[in-house]
Structures are given as structure tokens and as C-alpha cells.
Chains A and B, each alone.
Chain A
Amino acid sequence: MPVFPSEEWFTEVRDEYNKDPSLHSGGGGACDTVSGLEISDRFFRIQFEGHQCVDIHESSKSDIEDLDFVISMPEETWREMVEDIQANGKASALLTLNSIDLSSEESIAYSPVDDQYRQDLFYRYNQNFQDLMDASARVETSFE
């Protein structure tokens, strides 16, 4: 059973997401970005092309200057979201990336090179990221 967070876990989630178009609501639109997911001290690069998540792999935070934005949250917040998705089939209203961002003092997304244009992509695309995370409802997950 894949462990959250790990490359194996994200790969399974990605496969679930890619194979089911009903998961691609995301506001109805394509998403083109190379971004990062920061989970405490773990770092994952993620690439969307159109309605597909074409790549996600573990990386290091030293290699992020080309990324549009990074979604950064403590592992416990990510885990709370994933557990909620596992329990409810998708994130509850107050545990979506959007809601967590809006209720956080600082935005959970940042641009590694302080590029406002690229950081704004988070607000345009976060529903696609949410759909991807919601696909984890179909992946049996271990947290240990």
C-alpha cells in the first residue's frame, strides 16, 4: 500500500486522475503548468498538460527556479486533506486547497522567483490540483 507522501503514492493518484475524465472538472478547463508541492521537508515536481497530469516525481527544493508556483503546507495539513478525501470521496468544503489558502495568514502558494504572473496561476488552476488530490480517494493509502 503506497505511503503518503511518496512518489509511488502520487504516481498512483496521477494514474487514477488521468484515466477518468469525470475527474477533470477543474472549472472545466485545461491546465498547463510545471509546479511544486512542498510537504514539510519533502518536495515533488508536478507537470500538467491540458487535462492530464503528465509527470510527478520527488525532487529537491534546490531545483525550483523554473516552477510557476509551489504549493507549500506542513505535512499535517496535507495529511488532514488526504484523510478527509479518503473518508468523503473528495475534500470537504473547508479542506480544499482553495479554502486552506484563503483561511491561511499567508498564501499557501508562492513563486520561487517572485513572479506575480506565475504565482497568479495558482488561483487560476488550483481547482485542477484539487481534482488531482481528490483522485486519491481511489488509492488505498498508508500514512506510516
Chain B
Amino acid sequence: MSEEEGKTTAEPIAKPTFKWKGLSNQWDVKVEPNEHGLRLGDLNVGIYGEVPEYWEDQTRRPRGSVSRPGIPPLSYSLRYKHDVWADCAADLYEEAIQRQWIPATDVPWETLETLPEEIEKAICQVCTEVSQYANSEIEIISHWQDEMSYGFHEVKQYLATVSFDCARHVEALRKRALSNGGGLGIESKGVANRMILQSSGGWTESVAYLYLVRGTYVFHLIKGLHNSAHNDAERFIYKHMLQDHARHLTYGYDHLKYAVTHKDGQAQVMATLLAVGEGIMARELDTSLIRPAMAIIFGEGVEGAKTKGMDCYLELVKDFVADYVEICNWIGVEKTGRLNPALQQYLDL
């Protein structure tokens, strides 16, 4: 083929059109940073701050932007504000972004020391199961995030940080298990994980199980681990997990309170869900290997586990149940005297 024949006629470049120019629902917006910087919540001015009770749009249209005709709808099922909302979401997003930590280099791994084998085994078992808790949290959040409308972008963004926090918890716990002469233990039976992952009635139902029921227990579990940490590496991990988890619970409790106060009948629905969840959580407490493992950690060995260790663990569970009842009451679901007997037994110890 000659050089001349090989030449093709170039397509003309389309002239840019500027018809879109000036299409804005609100222009001349100039949010200025304050002493805290420019935070997500600060942007909620004018129409951009109008969080709807119901988000009509089924596209990915950012809240406040101009709607484009002809965009096919997507299957967002969480379109009511009371399905997802917590007033603190934007603030928690900022807090989470600022308070990241790096297990690879922030944890003083050099402080790990060889522990008696039975204690190392117990710690590794707890790391194994708690990392599964964190993994199930990522899974359930990812599932529901997909269903959340963009009218509530603060919540979607905040939950992205929670997934990342949980990934970091999985990482840190796995590193702890694999860095001191032990290894991962036996996988969890997954009783509570299944309860959470199979909660299909909506995000609020999942939040009730994930944070109010299991999350409150996990909070006490991490407190217990921190309290019995053997070195600065463990102390650092648990201290930072506790701070992250406190943020997660703050969203969870705040959302449940919002749902109960803004949706008719939600308190009754929640009471029914919790009655079921309490029974399953009690089964988790009975069957999980975290129970004997924590007793060994608290009792500083198998012998001590049989007495002091188990007493300490049961005290931890009692504190969890007491807290759970108090938080339910705060949310607006009266639990005093209405607790599933399987959990009530821990209060009666």
C-alpha cells in the first residue's frame, strides 16, 4: 500500500457546546473554611443542605445538582431519611478521616514478648473471631450502601470510613495473631454473624443487630482486652479499636433513635426484632470460643480461667447486658423488665 493510500481522512473534532453553562440549581455559593477547616457538614448551605424526608431520585445525582432527563433508574431501596439518617454522620466522617492509624508502623510491634502458650492460643482465638466480626460488618455495610439513595450522601460517605476502619481491625488482629509465635485459631460458629448478615428487613434492622446487640458486646470485649493487654502493642491496637468502634456505635445508636422518633411504629418493630436478636446473641455468648478464651486471658492461664477468669468474663457480659438495656431505653425501646430470659440470666448473676 502506498503512503498516500494509507492515509485516512480524520474525523472532524466536534465543536464544544456550552449549552450546559449556567445550569445550576444554586450558584454563587462560597462556603469558607472556619477554624476547623472546611468540613463536610459546613457545605450544607442553601439547597445543598436540604436533606429530604424522601429522596425521589433513583439515579446517582448528587444532592443539589441539576437532574438530567433520561437517566435510567437504579434500584435504591433506602429512600426515606428515617431509613438511614443520623445527624452526626457528617461529623463522624470528618472524625474518622482525621483519626486513621497505621497498624504496620504505628503499633509498637517490638514490644511483643513470648507469652505462655495457653495465653497466646487464647489471644489468637479471640483475634480470629473478632476479625470475623469486623469482616461481617464490612459485608453488611457494603450490601446496604448499595441500596442507599444519594440524597443522604453524608451517611454513605461515613459508612465508607467504617468499612475502612473494619478492614484495619481485621488487619491489626491478624497481625497480632501471626506475629508472636502463634497463629489463627478456629473459625467462629458465626451465630451472630448470620443474624446480622441475614437481616433483610432494611438497614435499620441490620443496625439494631450489628451495633445495638452485637456491637455493644464487642465494645465491652475490646475494653476487656485492653484491660488485660500484655504489652504496648496490644494496648495500642485495642485502644485504637475502641476509639473507632465508639464512632461506629455513635452512628448506630443515633440512627436507631432517629428511626424510632421519626417513623410510626418503629419502636414496636424494633422491640420485636430485639427480642429475636437477644436470643441469638445469647446463643452466640454460649457457643463462641471467645468465652473460654477470654476466661483464660483474664485468669492468666487455664487454671485461673476456671475461677477468676470466668468470673471476670461473666462480669463483662453482665456489664454489656446492663449497658444494652440502658441504651435501648435511651433509644425509645423500653427493655427494663422485658429482656429475653436468655440475656436476663446474665444480669441476675
Contacts and interface: CB of A to CB of B under 8 A. Distances in A.
Interface stretch (A58-66, A75-83, A117-125): A117-125
B197 interface: no
9 contacts: A30-B98, A50-B36, A102-B224, A102-B227, A116-B253, A116-B330, A124-B95, A124-B243, A124-B247
A106 to B, nearest CB: 10
B218 interface: no
A88 interface: no
Contact of A117 (B229, B242, B253, B326): B253
Given A93-B235, A116-B330, A117-B250, A29 B227 contact: no
Nearest to A115: B330
A127 B100 contact: no
Contact of B99 (A28, A99, A120, A123): A28
Interface of B: 35-36, 88, 94-95, 98-101, 223-224, 226-227, 229, 232, 235, 239-240, 242-243, 246-247, 249-250, 253-254, 257, 326-327, 330
A49 interface: yes
B105 to A, nearest CB: 13
Contact of A27 (B229, B243, B253, B254): B243
A102 B35 CA distance: 33
B246 A30 contact: no
Given A28-B99, A99-B227, A93 B250 contact: no
A120 B226 contact: no
Contacts of B327: 116
A124 B98 contact: no
Given A29-B95, A93-B235, A103-B227, A123 B330 contact: no
Contacts of A8: none
B100 A123 contact: no
B246 A28 contact: no
Contacts of B35: 49-50
